[in-house]
A and B are shown apart, each in its own frame.
Chain A
């Protein structure tokens, strides 16, 4: 391909990417919030994640896809040191949050988990707590007693998770009285209450019906204006709909990582192509 053609292609690609992200080009930052370098994760002897290097960009949605057992959830859990809760697990490599290694000496995992929040597959509100108490359960751990600040945090978090209008008159009711989709948004509100920089979502819609799923996906679009999101999903269409970047994992390795629109129309690697087209196994 001659230089003129490739220059045209470049400008075309640029124009395309700004259209796809719905933002003028100038707003697109190349900031990297989380940088993963040479990450290995072991449960026992064999590695579940092998030598993964990836840059998760600020205020972008990064999706992780791959078949069951490919290490995608394990990878996600390493991003806030959650996997340490599994006995016998071990990590090699670096995870840098704004340049600081989360696995460096003297880093408090509790602080890491405040800065990097997590939402799980099944909604898990604290069953004995009211909606209000669920939202501020994490926030209260920093010792805040000021009622005004607490009430503001409850409203801000529930608004951010698009649940406020549905529950504002029932804040005293039990968290488990809500529907599955509402419970998941409650969990998102709980994660947002502590103002995390990054939100990790591990198959957040797999227990929800299509309408509740659509609400969560819409929420993801809104949330990415202020928080960086990494989402693991089994649903490839969901990855295609919500994310800006997608990584494909297979057998613990990151096979391909790139812009979502590119990865789902013309991926570079044969393995990725086979997976997204359903020629697998």
Chain B
């Protein structure tokens, strides 16, 4: 017995699926990084470019879906191939949603760039950094079938949640002290929420990776298992 498929075309399609997902993941990481940059640097041109580039993310989403459905229909996969393909379907959905969040960040950045800056952005870039790292690591875990790394991603979600709560408190304080800031403070709060959701999507990807490798689900548990 060996590790390659007797069906070469099938093998090629599976490889292609892996590559497409990784390509999409790389694009998404870049989208988030640049979206936050457009906010911090008050660079509206960059924000427009990122919004425009979401088309490419959407196209990849559709293409990968098509590939997965074709693989399911033509090869009736089982075992780890089945888990890989269904994981691919779900990962793509999460990535596409992350792409939408990057667009939302850019939209708020465009609005915020029209007004004077409320405060220096410190926690938002930190949050973005952690969220982006989570996506990167969840996809790394996907490629290397590394469940320890996937579990770490799930745990890192707490850090982002805490930063989000902190930013929420801070923006509320601004609004209470000076109602003139309400519009800007709500937008910053929204961006924080987008980043928090991005981390949630990265967590979903990591959970799916654990399912893909181990064949067991750790989703919707009250507490994360110490190991898988």
Contacts and interface: CB of A to CB of B under 8 A. Distances in A.
Contacts of B216: 9, 266
Contact of B79 (A1, A8, A9, A276): A276
Interface in A195-244: 236-237, 240
B81 A277 contact: yes
B82 A265 contact: yes
Nearest to B84: A277
Contacts of B215: 265-266
B227 interface: yes
Contacts of B178: none
Contacts of A277: 5, 77-81
Nearest to B75: A278
Nearest to A274: B1
A273 B80 contact: yes
A271 B3 CA distance: 10
A87 interface: no
Contacts of A274: 1-3
Nearest to A2: B225
A278 B217 CA distance: 25
A120 interface: no
A106 to B, nearest CB: 44
A17 to B, nearest CB: 15
B76 interface: yes
A213 to B, nearest CB: 15
A236 B78 CA distance: 9
A273 B79 contact: yes
Contacts of B5: 277-279
Contacts of B228: 1
B222 interface: yes
A2 B227 CA distance: 9
Interface residues of B, number: 29
B223 A4 contact: yes
A265 B215 CA distance: 7
Interface residues on A, range: 20 to 34
Contact of B78 (A1, A5, A265, A271): A265
B7 A278 contact: yes
B224 to A, nearest CB: 9
A67 B186 CA distance: 64
A57 B215 CA distance: 25
B79 A266 contact: yes
A281 interface: yes
Contact of A5 (B4, B79, B221): B221
Contacts of A240: 78
Contacts of A276: 78-79
A113 B1 CA distance: 37
A122 B100 CA distance: 57
Contact of B6 (A4, A8, A280): A280
A264 interface: yes
A180 interface: no
B225 A1 contact: yes
A138 interface: no
B23 interface: no
Contact of A8 (B78, B82, B221): B221
A240 B78 CA distance: 10
Given A2-B225, A277-B77, A266 B83 contact: yes
Interface in A144-164: none
Nearest to A236: B78
B46 to A, nearest CB: 44
B221 A278 contact: no
A84 to B, nearest CB: 33
B179 interface: no
A278 B10 contact: yes
B120 interface: no
A267 interface: yes
A273 B81 CA distance: 9
Contacts of B218: 5
A264 B78 contact: yes
A272 B83 CA distance: 15
A162 B82 CA distance: 34
Most buried by A among B75, B222, B225: B225
A188 B4 CA distance: 40
12 contacts: A1-B226, A8-B221, A9-B216, A236-B78, A264-B79, A265-B82, A266-B83, A267-B79, A273-B80, A277-B79, A279-B5, A281-B6
Interface of B: 1-7, 10, 75-83, 214-218, 221-223, 225-228
Given A5-B218, A5-B223, A278-B81, 4 more contacts: A2-B223, A2-B226, A236-B78, A281-B1
The 6 closest A-B pairs by CB, nearest first: A266-B215, A276-B78, A277-B79, A277-B81, A273-B79, A264-B78
